[in-house]
Structure 1
């Protein structure tokens, strides 16, 4: 038995706590629907209690030294490294991700902790600013923001949860965190266990296992949290924006994507195909940064489609815990049915099917469509499945214009032999991130990670997340008597 299977209760005030609803829900392996563990679901009252506890604990944690915070983060990082094998197996079994994906995710979470250790000293420093008023000294302080409400998705649960939790703790905040219950162990239990091992004071991190039917908008509307961190759909992000706006809460939102992969007229086709295969099919396409539209200059189009299709047909599929597997199962039946509906609609719309995949149990093998119009439903849908769409552009500039023709703006990629031109075209794409001669799935804890347009608000990564998760305060000291005009 994996050590995390028994960590199936909420973690509140430093204790693994039985849910008061009396309800349970199974987390299952998406490949064969076998039960991994059974979660005890918390009540709305327990969520309220968690926010109260987090608020009290944060006041003390805010007084901690940079060295204290660094020590806790270092021990949490050590825990992930020491338990690597169990964590990778848990991520793979629970998310349906391959062993390759699970390794990438764990390494990303460790990197976030490593970077967070470097900015624990951002708190408490005093910056002096000159004053025009005689005898006045101006001090600028960076202080913790307070309590952060964190909500993470099913696809990269450990990484996308840690991306909020580690910076929050490093900067003297406390957290109430709700992972997707489909991946509760990867997105909640592993992290809570790591920080419990690290000696984080009780109540600084609270992990809630709950369903929306019970807690409704409690993670958003509760008056205590000062910031809502959410990764998920644009539709939910808009809902959060409305609520946060009314409550004057900050937001860090990473939302949907329709990420273009642009192959310019002078690109190396073979290298572009290599990148596109990985950037489209890692984790079965269930990543917000995944390549959604492949836009190829007409001079390279036929060769690209042929080579891409040949490679797709060779991708091994099946049980995601087999190290040889590249295409594992989609996370649940609903996602599988949505993907099949998209495929059927594309066929009805007459879009050319170059590679026809199939459903094998809960695995959907790759489909490749070619020649779709950029305004087609297929091209404008965030697919979140192993479905590739290749489109033709008559010029390099048209390819860039097509790339921008979407409501989303998360990630993107441009392939070219002219790196200077590639960077200039990259700047023309209206997305938060563009990668020249690489694919669109890139992340790092020391870059500005985030989207434009309907793809999000705010930026993760150091130093941008420091600004997001702290508050700046001006304290002036009048050292000599000041005369006033009345």
Structure 2
């Protein structure tokens, strides 16, 4: 399959069939770098969404009874599809998301890792645990069961990986899925995945994918009575909305939301290595990552040296066409996001921050901005920027640095640079964030770690084995093997 063949598939995938959207509305899927129209997509309707949930519920009943080997074989073949079509998928990631060659390779690698890790827990549905307790003759058996149907909603920044992070474990654990990728990246976040599972021979209805948007379906992914869990990756504001609706309907949620990741450079840090890490962790994919470094907090003893070296590196980063393997800074996803980033730039200047590197706009590309003399409680510092805008905050003590690091409503990722590893680990344990990386940057992921945040950064954990708890339910069956005597 070549990349053009992916681009020609502009249909939703419902109950094992590729179906044209029935809405009168269409969406133009464009390359954020040059505005080339990649595909024109007719949107799926709310009625088609309801049909997808109905078909998923029917298919899930038999899928839940499938053998471990059946589920593993499906997962392995889906993974093989991604590997066999590697070059075409990487090209599509670059074209549709505006990601660089580096970003595209990272994303595909992570998606394959998620699939392959699912092989390590597919067996969980077939294991029965016996526990003691109760009256004489009581045998207690604990069974793990699939939740049923899962509603999956993924974002624009890493659509293949962040979609697969929900879909692979859901299917491996006997659930069915109705998936809505962000329509801006519907091919990478939806069509590629549907093609992979179609190729793998997944039974019809177990995975369904709709190319649509909120204006067309409203809250249908949330309010439909069939799904038992809503898995969402995206902004905190939308996550709050989803959480409120899920609470009303008593649905489980897996919410991976916004971040404001601090990158802390302590008084004993290796400045050169901290700069290396900070440049990568701030500017990969133009800063459009939930884990991206949002605040760089530097001890005064290291501040001037760090700023000088960081600015020099940021200024030299190649920008332009993401198809060029040398490009580091590509386009933001759309003009709306770019204009929002420019408003943050103006806000920084209004708040009195010092511009030590002035960026520029080139089409949908924003070259790096670097600001110093930023207050930690400023609107700039407390906003998830999602752009190549670096914020540097100077502090007087290590203790102040760690205190400031935690002063945010978010708690996703974080990083601490120090030459004292024991001290770094102690500080990390006291930092209210789901993940802290010592002597590394904040953008790290793996399929076998508890990925997730605290506070406004979300609920639940991805990664093996924690995702097994999220996507299944436990059932207690007791068997009374001897007659029981009752008090009345």
* Band of TM-score, shorter chain: over 0.9
Tell me how far apart the structure 2 counterparts of residues 434 and 130 of structure 1 sit (CA, whole Å).
Answer: 39
From 158, 167, 172, the counterpart of 1:170 = 172
- Deviation of 1:39 after TM superposition, in Å, equals 1.2
Aligned residue for 1:51? 53
CA distance, structure 2, for counterparts of residue 142 and residue 230 of structure 1: 23
- The Cα RMSD (Å) is 0.7
User: What SS does the corresponding residue of 2:55 show, helix, strand or coil?
Assistant: helix
The SS at the match of 2:380 is helix
Contact 1:123 1:142 in 2 (8 A): yes
Counterpart Cα distance in 2 of 1:454 and 1:349: 25
Does residue 100 of structure 1 match 2:99?
no
Q: How many residues align?
A: 486
**SS of residue matched to 1:312:** helix
After the TM superposition, which parts of structure 1 deviate over 3 Å for at least 4 consecutive aligned residues?
A: none
Of 318, 321, 326 in structure 2, the residue corresponding to residue 319 of structure 1 is: 321
Q: Deviations over 1:134-187 (max 9, x none)?
A: 111110001111000000000000000000000000000000000000000110
Pairwise CA distance, 1:248: 0.9
CA contact (8 A) 2:154 2:233 kept: yes
- Can you list the C-alpha shifts for 1:100-122, whole angstroms capped at 9, x where unaligned? 00000000000000100111100
Distance 1:472 1:399 in 2: 43
Q: In structure 2, what is the equivalent of residue 336 of structure 1?
A: 338
Q: Distance in 1 between matches of 2:483 and 2:431?
A: 56
Secondary structure of the corresponding residue to residue 45 of structure 1: helix
Aligned match of 1:445: 447
1:22 Cα deviation from its structure 2 partner: 2.9
> Using the alignment, how far apart are the partners of 1:438 and 1:463 within structure 2?
24
CA distance in 1, matches of 2:171, 2:347: 46
User: For residues 349 and 128 of structure 2, what CA distance do their matches in structure 1 show?
Assistant: 63
Give the corresponding residue for 2:134.
Answer: 132
Provide structure 2 residue ranges, at least 5 long, that are not aligned to the other structure: none
Partner of 2:116: 114
Q: CA deviation at 1:387?
A: 0.2
> 1:191-340 to 2 correspondence within 5 Å?
191-340=193-342
SS of the counterpart of 1:472?
A: strand
Please report how far the alpha carbon of residue 131 of structure 1 lies from its aligned counterpart in structure 2 after TM superposition.
2.5
* 1:460 paired residue number: 462
Quote the Cα distance in structure 1 between the aligned partners of 2:149 and 2:16. 16
Q: Is the 8 A contact 1:431 1:451 kept in 2?
A: yes
1:157 correspondence with 2:166? no
8 A Cα contact 1:176 1:207, kept in partner? yes
Distance 2:257 2:100 in 1: 23
Question: After the TM superposition, which of the residue ranges 472-481 and 291-300 deviates more from structure 2?
Answer: 472-481
CA deviation vs aligned residue, 1:275-329 (integer Å, no higher than 9, x gap) = 0000000000000000000000000000000000000111000011111100000
**Shift of residue 483 of structure 1?**
2.0
Distance in 2 (CA, whole Å) between partners of 1:442 and 1:326 is 18
CA deviations over 1:311-363 (Å, ceiling 9, x no partner): 01110000111111000000001100000011011112221000001001111
* Residue 471 of structure 2 corresponds to residue 469 of structure 1: yes
> What is aligned with 1:355?
357
Residues in 2 aligned to 1:420 and 1:105: alpha-carbon distance in whole angstroms: 32
Q: Displacement of 1:366 after TM fit?
A: 0.4
**Whole-angstrom CA distance in 2 between matches of 1:343 and 1:465:** 38
Asked if 2 retains the 8 angstrom alpha-carbon contact of 1:10 and 1:40, the reply is no
- Give distance in 2, aligned partners of 1:134 and 1:348: 74
The structural deviation recorded for 1:402 is 0.4
Instruction: State the alpha-carbon separation in 2 of the partners of residues 392 and 427 from structure 1.
Output: 23
Cα-to-partner distance string for 1:83-102 (whole Å, 9 max, x where unaligned): 00000000111001001000
Q: Contact 2:355 / 2:370 at 8 angstroms: preserved in 1?
A: yes
Confirm or deny: 8 A CA contact 2:75 2:172 kept in the other structure. yes
Deviation at 1:132, TM superposition (A): 2.7
Identify which of 66, 71, 74 aligns with 2:73: 71
Partner residue, 2:62: 60
CA distance in 2, matches of 1:443, 1:7: 30
